[in-house]
């Protein structure tokens, strides 16, 4: 299912005469128990490179990534989830990627839908694709999503849809695909270094007129999956609402936050 926002800023598409270069980036933190299984479940033939960015883990995430022959980058200190993504996307862009897929290495999201999540970009129908846990009715709860996460996700997504005037089923997924044009246009380096990054980049997508699509994704929750705690989820929610408010102020022409400026 897709939810077009705008086609005005879709940017240049990859050269149709060659196969698009697809890079999977994995922002990792203490992912040694789940990284290999997640990687092994990614369908072959749909990607060209996997980059693991280790945000100063206390386990052997980096060593395992190297043993799997993946490109591994280790931060010299912990910078946070958003900071990790910034390294992921900059490294992918430097490598000449056409499409970047962000997949958490904790095994929570189903890696096998990779062909589906890049398809809208390959068809030039979208610039950002979200793997939605709510695109299939009841799917999130069947996958084991805790009730507090379910309620907070529904509340925040509803508020964000109202502010952005969109109709997305989920705005808080950790499985996403971006076109190169998107990442070269949206000033994601100005975003937060924590979990608010994911919300900010969605608001930027709408601000800059990029097209958004969704595909269903199944998930599973288990002890090894690096799911945010109740406290972390609360902080994340409290940071999401100010982003929505800043977006409204920008629309009304009051302040011009850096994350919304070209």
Mean pLDDT, to the nearest integer, of 162-177? Answer: 96
Residue 165 has pLDDT above 90, yes or no: yes
For residue 20, what pLDDT is reported? 97
> In terms of pLDDT, which residue wins out, 257 or 211?
211
For residue 8, what pLDDT is reported? 43
C-alpha 192/C-alpha 132 separation (Å) is 22
Confidence of residue 75 (pLDDT cuts 50, 70, 90): very high
Q: Phi, psi at residue 236, to the nearest 5°?
A: -60, -45
Instruction: Indicate the domain borders of the chain.
Output: 2-8+18-253
Mean pLDDT, to the nearest integer, of 85-96? Answer: 98
Cα dihedral across residues 91, 97, 101, 106: positive or negative:
negative
For residue 249, what pLDDT is reported? 87
Q: Give CA torsion, residues 141, 144, 225, 175, to 10 deg.
A: -30
Q: Residue 249: left (phi > 0), alpha (psi -120 to 50), or beta?
A: alpha
What distance lies between CA 26 and its chain's CA centroid? 10
Average pLDDT of the chain is 90
Q: Where would I find the H helices in the chain?
A: 35-40, 61-67, 81-94, 114-122, 139-142, 147-164, 180-185, 196-207, 230-251
Long-range contacts of 140-145 (CB under 8 A, 24+ apart): 140/219, 143/218, 143/219, 143/220, 143/221, 144/219, 144/220, 144/221, 144/222, 145/219, 145/221
The SS3 call for residue 240 is helix
CATH level 3 topology of 2-8+18-253: Spore Coat Polysaccharide Biosynthesis Protein SpsA; Chain A (3.90.550)
For residue 77, what pLDDT is reported? 97
- Spatial strand order in the sheet of 175-179: 2-3, 212-216, 128-132, 175-179, 99-103, 22-28, 49-54, 71-74
Residue 4 has pLDDT above 80, yes or no: no
Q: What is the pLDDT of residues 118-127, one digit of tens each?
A: 999 999 999 9
Confidence of residue 7 (pLDDT cuts 50, 70, 90): very low
**pTM for the whole structure:** 0.89
Q: What proportion of the chain, given as a percentage, has pLDDT over 70?
A: 89
Q: What is the pLDDT of residues 20-66, one digit of tens each?
A: 999 999 999 999 999 999 999 999 999 999 999 999 999 999 999 99
Mean pLDDT, to the nearest integer, of 86-98? Answer: 98
């Amino acid at each position: 299912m897709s939810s077009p926002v705008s086609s005005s800023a879709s940017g240049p598409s990859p050269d149709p005469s060659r196969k698009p270069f697809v890079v999977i980036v994995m922002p990792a933190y203490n992912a040694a128990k789940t990284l290999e299984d997640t990687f092994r479940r990614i369908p072959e033939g749909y990607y060209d490179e996997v980059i693991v960015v280790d945000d100063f883990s206390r386990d052997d995430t980096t060593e395992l990534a190297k043993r799997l022959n993946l490109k591994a980058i280790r931060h010299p200190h912990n910078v946070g989830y958003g900071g990790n993504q910034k390294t992921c996307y900059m490294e992918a862009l430097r490598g000449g990627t056409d499409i970047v897929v962000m997949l958490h290495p904790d095994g929570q999201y189903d890696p096998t839908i990779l062909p589906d999540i890049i398809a809208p970009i390959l068809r030039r129908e979208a610039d950002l694709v979200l793997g939605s846990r709510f695109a299939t009715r009841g799917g999130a709860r069947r996958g084991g999503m805790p009730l507090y996460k379910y309620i907070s996700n529904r509340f925040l997504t509803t508020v964000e849809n109202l502010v952005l005037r969109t109709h997305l089923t989920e705005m808080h997924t950790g499985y996403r695909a971006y076109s190169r044009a998107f990442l070269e246009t949206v000033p994601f380096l100005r975003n937060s270094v924590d979990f608010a990054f994911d919300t900010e980049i969605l608001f930027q997508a709408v601000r800059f007129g990029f097209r958004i699509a969704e595909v269903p994704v199944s998930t599973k929750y288990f002890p090894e999956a690096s799911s945010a705690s109740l406290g972390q989820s609360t902080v994340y929610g409290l940071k999401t609402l100010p982003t929505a408010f800043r977006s409204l102020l920008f629309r009304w022409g009051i302040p011009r936050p850096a994350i919304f400026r070209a």
